[in-house]
Amino acid sequence: MYRFVLTIVLLNYLCCASIIGRKGSCPSGGQTGPDGRCYVFYSSTNNCNSNWNTSNVFCQQQGGQLASISSSFINAFLWKMVKSANINTQRGECDYFPGHGTFIGLYPKISGNTCQWSWSDGSPLSYSNWGSGLNNSCDPNDWNTQNSIVYLTTTDGKWNLDDNAEIGYPSICAFD
């Protein structure tokens, strides 16, 4: 009987500790998405002038990753989050001109003669929300693909490409 009670107490402690730990890992200003992950929209002038790679490293330094989007529910949640921030998100100068978009973790992973869209956190691309008429083919020999970044548009929540990977947008970091 003593072992049973001790086991229950231990399981209760582990359960509560994991819940408390998860709550503590969500940075200030974060919102819990429909998948239980914490998302934070970073839009400061310094972040807006960062390219995709710098934004990806920034998210990792915070303990997260650029957001990966695995469903229409998450896409809608992130779009609403960005729209409700009510800031200007024009590329490279997001504090100065009307809206454009925000970095997500999708990028063209090129290896030799193969190319595939990949999430920076390693999760598979199981859902997509490309803008209409967008050529989203992943061609390893196309300069535009090699230098492209993907952003979530503030106008309609669709994904778009920018063939200048050096420009700056705000970013959405995801935390487990």
- Top pLDDT among 104 and 42 is at 104
Read off the pLDDT of each residue in 53-65 and give the average, rounded to a whole number.
92
* CA distance linking residue 172 with residue 102, whole number of Å: 7
Contacts of 68 (CB under 8 A, 6+ apart): 104, 105, 106, 119, 120, 121, 123, 174
- pLDDT, tens digit, for every residue of 1-55? 555 443 443 344 334 333 333 444 688 889 999 999 999 998 765 566 678 888 8
- pLDDT, tens digit, for every residue of 109-167? 888 888 888 999 999 899 999 988 776 777 767 766 677 788 898 889 999 887 766 67
| pTM passes above 0.85 | no
Other beta carbons within 10 Å of 95: 14
* CA distance linking residue 88 with residue 126, whole number of Å: 30
Do 145 and 115 touch, CB atoms closer than 8 A?
Answer: yes
pLDDT at residue number 116: 87
- Res. 104 pLDDT band, cuts 50 70 90: very high
